[in-house]
Amino acid sequence: MARPRHLLGGAKVTTNDYRKTPELLSRLSDEQHRVTQQDGTEPAYRNEYWDNHEPGIYVDIVSGQPLFSSTDKYDSGTGWPSFTAPIAADAVATKVDRTHGMIRTEVRSAGADSHLGHLFHDGPAAAGGQRYCMNSAAMRFVPASRLVEEGYGQFGALFDTDQDSTKGANA
C-alpha cells in the first residue's frame, strides 16, 4: 500500500517508501541540511521542539516518515526533544558514532537515512531506560488535530482527540 509523504510546508505526496531524493533535499533549510545530511547538532534550548508539549507526531523533515509520538516525549532537561521510544521499531536505525572523542549510538531515519540525534541509556527506567535525544531540525511536527488531514490518520488512536482516526487509515 502506498504511504503518504509530507514535504516541508505539509504538501502531501504518495509514495511506497521514504527514501531521500535530490528534490526533497533541495527543500531543506541550511540548518536542516547541516543536521540531517552532515550529522550536525543544533544548540540546546534554541531549537523548535525542545519545549513542545502539544499532542502529535514527529516525522522526518526529509521524507515525512513517522518517527516519534508526543506520547513518548518527556523533558530530559537536556534542551533537545527526547523520547523513550520510536513510533515503530523499524522507524529508526542506529549505528556506532565515534566522533568527538566519544563512542555513542547515532539514530538515523530508516527510510531517508537522515541523521536525527543520539540514543542514550539514561532515560526513565519505568519506560525502558532509553533516551532518544533528537534534533528539532531533523523533524517536522504534525499536531494530533491535523493527522487525518495530512495523511497520518492511522496514528490518531494514540491521542485523546475528537478526530475520527479511521478517516485517514488508508490514506
The catalytic residues are 133
Closest residue by Cα to residue 87 from 58, 111, 130 = 58
Cα–Cα distance measured from residue 111 to residue 96, given in angstroms and rounded to the nearest whole number:
18
Closest residue by Cα to residue 61 from 48, 74, 72, 43 = 48
User: For residue 15, with 0-12 CB atoms within 10 Å meaning exposed, 13-18 middle and 19 or more buried, which class applies?
Assistant: middle
